[in-house]
Amino acid sequence: MTAQIPGYAYGSKEVPQAPVSDEDFKLLKTTVLMTEEDVKYLRMAGEVLKDQVDSVLDLWYGWVGSHKHLVHYFGDRKTGQPIGLYLDAVRKRFGQWILDTCFREYDRQWLNYQYEIGRRHHREKKNKTDNVNSVEHIPLRYLIAFIVPITATIKPFLAKKGHSADDVEKMYNAWFKAVTLSVALWSIPYTNKGEW
């Protein structure tokens, strides 16, 4: 399935090493309170979400599409019109990111790919993966702010398979930690050397 996702390069040689030591990565996970129990609940969340990914993306894309200041970052640099092929390619990778968040090991490969995702939002690599002529950069403020909608909207999906309220809450909390961890790593290209 992942071979059919344009630009999805998880674990490949084209993904550079994140400039984060194993110790700093461990401390970052500790800082967001991520535990082995959270990993267990992320796996449970993955089982709940895997057949709902399109519905989650419909909600998220509908929300982004209803806000001109956000859909702008998927628009043609000259005309401002949304680039359909770009939106479609990013959507496929975003769906895989949901599954990766739930099922991947939080190891060096995962760390490196979060760094790559950050590069693809930053002027360093934006537009290059999909060879499009969109705006050159997504401001860091929107990556940080996006933690809220991609967390706040997930709970109803987690509650759809009959799990107890306690399990839903634990899946939700684990998701929140994982999203925050991801965005912290996406921010690396936005910082000056030695400041991250």
pLDDT digits (tens, 9 = 90+) for 66-116: 999 999 999 999 999 999 999 999 999 999 999 999 999 999 999 999 999
CATH code of the region 19-190: 1.10.490.10
If 0-12 CB within 10 Å is exposed, 13-18 middle and 19+ buried, where does residue 168 land? buried
Q: Which residues in the chain land under pLDDT 50?
A: none
Domain residue limits, the chain: 19-190
Distance of CA 122 to the CA centre of its chain: 14
pLDDT of residue 4: 84
